[in-house]
Amino acid sequence: MTWHILGAGSLGSLWAARLARRGLPVRLVLRDRPRLAAYEAVGGLTLVEQGTERHYPIPAELPSSAGPISRLLVACKAYDAESAVQPLLPRLAPGAELILLQNGLGSQDAVALRLPHARCVLASSTEGAFREADFRVVFAGHGFTWLGDPRQPAAPAWLDDLEQAGIPHGWTPDILSRLWRKLALNCAINPLTVLYGCRNGGLAEHPAEVSVLCAELAELLQRCGQPDAAEGLHEEVLRVIQATAANYSSMYQDVANGRRTEISYLLGHACASAARHRLSLPHLDSLHDRLRAHLAQRGLPVT
Ligand code: NAP
């Protein structure tokens, strides 16, 4: 069965190249005619791994192309996922499965609501990749991808394809807990690195602020029915700050490069969930306000 991959950015290209080089059928779905023409001009994807580059002439098509789609990897940013899937709806075959690679929470529900009859598998990945140029991606950090379906605990048969492609992964009945935990770690670290203009390690100079945010985030996770995700959150945040002290967070990098952030699906989602549960989290709300003001000042979207 063909893997249709929507979005030939960092993660989409990383998955596409690894599946294709094991001989698995892959097709990229690009946003429009100019992007398809640009892709055809370079003749494929280039993946750079440990300084070595390889070219993958993977076929590509438009959302409006003919032919059914049975398996779709959605590899767009969270804010693009719903609108990017929309034109593909008429092509989805009965029993189609989608794998949603988006960080944070909120975009997955938005996509799933449009597809009551398709299976949506959620992913949470710690792999790292970035675009060096159009259709040229660097595999920057080995990691692991958790997959799961909150509505259907049975693992899909296509996990064998991931095994074959050497994509490190695991199936979990509790993918929501993993996504919430990652969201909480992100909320405790990334916005502060943007506001203080520092590497992750710079947060060691703001222990009280980190601590109070972790306490509020743990309260939120409990209230959202995710007690496991709340367990030991503060300790893990401190560990991550230490272990990744030299790194700039993904949100820091987005802002530094003038790119839109996924704020609405991270801190924005946390604050909206707290409001829905009538939970007052003043430090988290204030962080959200400060971050939005900071983005607005730089002419970046605040959602
Ligand atoms: P990215 O490099 O910006 O790639 C996103 C791709 O989606 C782009 O190629 C973009 O196309 C494409 N796209 C957007 N709208 C589209 C549409 N309507 N139709 C077709 N394609 C469309 O993003 P990324 O870094 O791979 O991130 C994807 C998700 O994975 C994010 O939620 C991110 O947080 C998460 N994630 C990323 C990493 C990482 O290391 N990169 C790690 C863990 C999680 P254009 O090229 O035409 O703009």
On the question of pLDDT at 9 being above 90, the answer is yes
Residue 5 CA to ligand 1 center (angstroms) comes to 11
Please tell me the predicted confidence (pLDDT) of residue 86: 97
Residue 77 CA to ligand 1 center (angstroms) comes to 4
- Residue whose CA lies nearest to ligand 1 atom number 14: 76
On the question of pLDDT at 104 being above 90, the answer is yes
Domain spans, the chain = 3-173, 177-297
| Segment 84-90 mean pLDDT | 97
Cβ of 6 less than 6 Å from ligand 1: yes
Phi-psi region at 70: left, alpha or beta (left = phi > 0; alpha = psi -120 to 50): alpha
Contact 186, 241 (CB under 8 A): no
pLDDT digits (tens, 9 = 90+) for 116-125: 889 999 999 9
Please tell me the predicted confidence (pLDDT) of residue 178: 98
Say how far apart CA 130 and CA 128 lie, in whole Å.
Answer: 7
pLDDT digits (tens, 9 = 90+) for 38-64: 999 999 999 999 999 999 999 999 999
Of 64, 73, 77, 263, the one to substitute when testing ligand 1's pocket (max ligand atoms within 8 A of C-beta) is: 77
Cβ of 249 less than 6 Å from ligand 1: no
Instruction: Report in angstroms the alpha-carbon separations of 142 from 160, 252, 300.
Output: 20, 21, 30
Of 18, 182, 269, 288, which one is the catalytic site residue? 182
Please tell me the predicted confidence (pLDDT) of residue 22: 97
pLDDT digits (tens, 9 = 90+) for 241-267: 999 999 999 999 999 999 999 999 999
Percent of the chain with pLDDT over 70: 100
Helix%, strand%, coil% for the chain, nearest 5: 50, 20, 30
| CATH class belonging to 3-173 | alpha beta
Say how far apart CA 260 and CA 301 lie, in whole Å.
Answer: 6
Say how far apart CA 197 and CA 23 lie, in whole Å.
Answer: 44
Alpha helix (H) ranges present in 8-156? 10-20, 33-42, 78-85, 107-114
Please tell me the predicted confidence (pLDDT) of residue 116: 86
Q: Which fold has domain 177-297?
A: N-(1-d-carboxylethyl)-l-norvaline Dehydrogenase; domain 2 (1.10.1040)
Instruction: Provide the residue count of the chain.
Output: 303
Please tell me the predicted confidence (pLDDT) of residue 145: 98
- Residue whose CA lies nearest to ligand 1 atom number 19: 31
Residue type at 55 in one-letter notation: H
Radius of gyration of the chain, Cα coordinates, nearest whole angstrom: 19
> For this structure, is 77 an active site residue?
no
Mean of per-residue pLDDT scores for the chain: 97
Q: CB count, 10 Å around CB of 290?
A: 14
Which atom of ligand 1 is the closest one to the Cα of 30? 20
- Residue whose CA lies nearest to ligand 1 atom number 32: 102
Quick one: pLDDT band at residue 287, thresholds 50, 70, 90? very high
Say how far apart CA 100 and CA 119 lie, in whole Å.
Answer: 10
